[in-house]
Structure 1
Amino acid sequence: MPFIRTAVKKGCSAARKKDIVHGIHQALIDSIHMPEDELFNLLTEYEPDDFFYSRTFNGIARSDDLVVVEITMRRGRSDAMKKDLYAKIAENLQKCAAVSPADIFIFTHENDYSDWSVGNGAFAMNIVQQRG
């Protein structure tokens, strides 16, 4: 179950926020085969004066509309799956929310089941072990 944190510039409309979240979610379903009901995306807004970033890092021309996508997920996805995920997020956000691919900054954190509790204070490793 990936947990997503998405940051957008303050003033982003509610409809665009929803489109961004949907685009990320669909990319996770399509590329890493995440179940549809595993939607956990905490979207926050940043003030332009509170987020400093290079508009030219790595030769990419970024605007003032940077979208940051931080994905925390269980270890085990191949580099090919991640490459596909990043490409699909960029494609979906461009198509569904008019976000330029140059303005999408994505990174992942990977950990194990023992690092999660997804409800009722239950240790996720116990749930995985019970399922077999």
Structure 2
Amino acid sequence: MPITRIAVRAGKPAAYRKALTQGVHRSLMEVFKVPEDDIFMVVTEHDADNFFYGKHYLDIHRSDDLVMIQIVANNTRTSELKQALYKRIAEHLAESPGVRPEDVFVNLIDVPKENWSFGNGIAQYAT
């Protein structure tokens, strides 16, 4: 059910971008128990003129290898599960493709279940 957007600076190879999606999806499967086939992700690349961030916001020292991840998911997870997800994403991306934890920025947007249609004009999760 999540939809994920990953933004990076332009110039990373396809294998790097694929590793990002794999690491985020593995984290979602492990922590949020998302099914393996429930993957909807886009990766966008931005040149330096279109990629802005606070290099030292909250005393976290970010580099131009910053990865911005935005996940939209059902509003059914606890704060503890969300925090576990952020940690697991940082761990997986450190393993592959080698992103520093300081360069992993995650934003989670909670939405009601009825806010999804996976096709055919039907709100599959609406009750």
| 42-51 or 67-76: bigger deviation | 42-51
Q: Any gaps of 5 or more consecutive residues in structure 1?
A: none
* Higher helix proportion: 1
2-side partners of 1:66 and 1:22: how far apart? 17
1-side partners of 2:11 and 2:68: how far apart? 15
Q: TM-score normalized by structure 2?
A: 0.96
1-side partners of 2:21 and 2:125: how far apart? 28
What CA RMSD, in Å, does the superposition of the two structures yield over aligned residues? 1.0
Q: Any gaps of 5 or more consecutive residues in structure 2?
A: none
- Report the number of matched residues: 127
**What's 1:47 paired with?**
47
Amino acid at match of 1:117: S
**Is 1:109 matched with 2:109?**
yes
Q: Percent identity?
A: 37
**What's 2:97 paired with?**
97
Aligned-pair distance for 1:125? 4.0
**What's 2:85 paired with?**
85
Q: TM-score normalized by structure 1?
A: 0.92
**Is 1:2 matched with 2:7?**
no
Amino acid at match of 1:16: Y
Could you list the per-position Cα deviations for residues 22-74 of structure 1 after superposition, in whole angstroms to 9, with x for gaps in the alignment?
A: 00000001111111110111111111111221100001000011100000001
Structure possessing the higher radius of gyration over alpha carbons: 1
